[in-house]
Amino acid sequence: MKLNSTNLEKKLELKFNDPKILIKCLTHKSYDSKENNEKIEFLGDRVLGLVIAKKLLEIYPEEKEGILDKKFASLVNKKKCLEIANKIDLEKYIQVFNPKNKKIKIEDKVIADCLEALIGGIYLDKGFSVTEKFILNQWKEHINASKITQIDAKTKLQEYSLKIFKILPIYKIISNTGPRHKPLFKVAVKLKNTKFFNAEGNSKKDAEQNAATLCLENIFKK
């Protein structure tokens, strides 16, 4: 299959100097074990983090490091990358193993990773300034929303559990997989009267936050 990325470039309002870089950004390892987006994704993840961290310091020059860290974590994660990727219909352009050429649903993680690879590709092809502009444009509404400081899910769940049951929530690590530079933690949490709620994250902290969010959603939907 020959990928036509012209429509994506129009959507991004970017024209790659080297089209091969864009093609590589959109190629999953299941499609091509050698020329794929794994390493560019690694780069894009770091560039994304740098741009968002820089912007947060500009917006909140007097804010404490702990608060900045929470705002950063809410902006740089797989869920947020997936939201951005879906906004630009990135899934339509991703090359994955599909021998029967059928319409398939690509995994959310693959789509989110591809968005990070795209960021890495823009950096390689266009440099930092263009990449920074792209990221800040795509993340604009989310950055603005971060100006509203909220108690994180893990803290909220802890406060609820202590108030109702007089004990802390129970967390346990289910698994720790993935390469060293891109680990994937699976964590479960429960309260005295609930089942375990499982969630994943690229750090133990992120996984615990995601699990706490699921648990809170279950509590307050009742």
- Residue ending a domain, choose from 91, 111, 145: 145
Q: Looking at the structure, tell me whether residues 65 and 101 fall in a common domain.
A: yes
pTM over 0.85: no
Q: Looking at the structure, tell me whether residues 127 and 78 fall in a common domain.
A: yes
Q: Is residue 1 part of a domain?
A: no
- Please compute the mean of the pLDDT values over residues 50-68 and round it to a whole number: 90
Q: How far apart are CA 114 and CA 156, in angstroms?
A: 32
Q: Looking at the structure, tell me whether residues 140 and 168 fall in a common domain.
A: no
Q: Looking at the structure, tell me whether residues 56 and 119 fall in a common domain.
A: yes
Q: Looking at the structure, tell me whether residues 60 and 98 fall in a common domain.
A: yes
Q: Looking at the structure, tell me whether residues 133 and 183 fall in a common domain.
A: no
- Residues forming the active site: 45, 116
Query: pLDDT (tens digit, 9 = 90+) per residue, 20-55?
Result: 999 999 999 999 989 999 999 999 999 999 999 999
- DSSP 3-state assignment of 120? helix
Query: pLDDT (tens digit, 9 = 90+) per residue, 76-131?
Result: 999 999 999 999 999 999 998 876 666 667 899 999 999 999 999 999 999 999 99
- The amino acid occupying position 63 is E
Q: Are strands 170-177 and 184-190 parallel, antiparallel or unpaired?
A: antiparallel
Domain holding 189, by residue range, is 153-220
Q: Looking at the structure, tell me whether residues 138 and 201 fall in a common domain.
A: no
Q: How far apart are CA 135 and CA 127, in angstroms?
A: 13
Q: Looking at the structure, tell me whether residues 26 and 95 fall in a common domain.
A: yes
- Residue ending a domain, choose from 127, 145, 163: 145
Q: Looking at the structure, tell me whether residues 65 and 90 fall in a common domain.
A: yes
Structure tokens at 71: 């705002």
